[in-house]
Structure 1
């Protein structure tokens, strides 16, 4: 069992609630200006049905249609994070591999369930990109993010497909895939690959972190095993209403346009960061956040707080140290103000 200094339970929301300061939030990856009013109205309308037990059938069908799969290949969860706990409970891998740097909850859930974890650490020198040969052949449970939090790396679907094989569970965390225009690297619709489990979140793009809604896509027998590990009625009626609404064709089209705007805003952020010689940015970045390295980043992060900006410390991610920060993509006005503050904060 791995034990080290990384705080696997630290997340971006801690950066904006530690001291109650009024900070511009660049630490949390939830899209600003969300949830949209039409979604709030759908959720509010569901409150009239709170006397009844939650019925997830309509939401399950909506998710299935969105990804071209039958409903028995869908499991609704209280956020994608719950799925990591279910996976750790439902399976007893002999050799679980977590590819880092990435979202830390998968490893935390495995360790909490008493499962031994082997880390594969990707390196900045290789652009934090995965070579399938990096994963031990005898690994029977593999977890990787795509696009990866916090590196913003999008692994090609063909690369991840090489990891799939009989006797192995391959968990692909696609929590930010709907922020990628065209979702071209997704495995969500791939039903031909053995052992693939795709996780999705609706909390980031739609601003539903406080509602907790996500889902799992996998073979029926895998879904059944996860469902047995799940408590009864795990997803509340308002979250089910949100899932059904967000998977409807108009919402999917809206998310696609949002992804294209995020890409434009990210390009602007990257161009501004290029003016800071001391900052090294992981590129190409394809998620709604970027990862950067700069000298004395821990001190810079504190100075940024004094200037009114919260960014995510990245030393809690295995494979990274105190010189890394994660920054959420925001609109151009916010980005320009942030880069001005970062330039001041990075001065010796």
Structure 2
């Protein structure tokens, strides 16, 4: 793979070669919580299908924007609805930044978008355990991108540190795609009116299981929102996307709270089981995934063997600052974790026996 190929790699590619049939596949590679959205949200979407012959109604889009604004305590002018948070990175890359810095290890899509726009990307690579510590972007950086919590490390950075990066002449982009599964106390979403260069991106893809519909939004100053929106075509969002965003934030508080509790419980249980099986958990994750090193001396060979059995894990050598000794594992239930642990143990034993016969 070229460097660009590695940066463009996503967890859904971990199943390439498995056959494409999800039946029987145990997927730790993709962070989407469920195969589809909760029934109450699916019902809302079904109720709109009969009207899809019309262009997206402006009233629906406006009401979705209003719901997002109320959810975060900002003016609707601070909200830009997106066809997935990844669209936001593409729009931001089009602003013409000259000195962008991307904090790594982190989601690679921002760097991909900036490179595609011809920007000379610099990397701020954090050392293990991948906290900010005393690290700070260079003064000349006019765009800084960081995930919080970060993908794939799961580290939740202090809001006050990132807030301190905001300054005149700089756009500070915070990818909060997984923030809804934390307690939200470190979110900067409600602070965009006070920081003209602050941009916060949010996604509904993972928690609400809407990866196939592409739903997200960004929050920024009204001036910055207007600049970003001016580069879009007519009807950048479909009706179902706007309806999903509106319903998720209007009606989803109880669902998100329950998902948060479930993730916390499963993550704690999963950490304990993995450690007992010889895995090293590399960070204190606050996200619905764990960064780990598996037992054995050849993690990549183990990963390939698991994939052949329909057990998918996310390789991490595609993230700048990490290598193939790391895996990212989506938080899953006890049965899936037991399947993973058993398969890894079996592969490790088989490898040891093979070496003994050589």
TM-score where L is the length of structure 1: 0.94
Contact 1:7/1:316 (8 A) holds in 2: yes
**1 CA distance for matches of 2:181 and 2:157?**
14
Change over 3 Å in CA distance of 1:346–1:175 after alignment to 2: farther
**1 CA distance for matches of 2:112 and 2:163?**
25
Equivalent positions of 1:61-210 (< 5 A) are 61-89=66-94, 91-124=95-128, 127-131=129-133, 133-180=135-182, 182-190=183-191, 191-210=193-212
Q: Which moved more, 1:294-303 or 1:75-84?
A: 294-303
Moved over 6 A (4+): none
**2 CA distance for matches of 1:332 and 1:189?**
36
Q: Does residue 1:13 correspond to 2:2, yes or no?
A: no
Equivalent positions of 1:233-312 (< 5 A) are 233-248=235-250, 250-277=251-278, 279-294=279-294, 295-312=297-314
How far 1:346 sits from its partner (Å)? 3.5
How far 1:232 sits from its partner (Å)? 1.4
Q: Deviations 1:270-326 (Å, cap 9, x if unpaired)?
A: 01111133x321221110001112431111101212333101111111111111111
How far 1:194 sits from its partner (Å)? 3.8
What's the counterpart of residue 23 of structure 1? 25
User: Is there any run of 5+ residues in structure 1 with no aligned partner, and where?
Assistant: none
User: Is there any run of 5+ residues in structure 2 with no aligned partner, and where?
Assistant: 352-358
How far 1:345 sits from its partner (Å)? 2.9
CA RMSD of aligned residues (A): 1.6
**1 CA distance for matches of 2:205 and 2:234?**
22
How far 1:161 sits from its partner (Å)? 1.0
Q: 2:47 aligns with which of 39, 45, 48?
A: 45
**2 CA distance for matches of 1:17 and 1:44?**
31
Number of residues paired by the alignment? 340
Q: Deviations 1:35-71 (Å, cap 9, x if unpaired)?
A: 1111111011111221222131111111111111111
Contact 1:173/1:200 (8 A) holds in 2: yes
How far 1:185 sits from its partner (Å)? 1.3
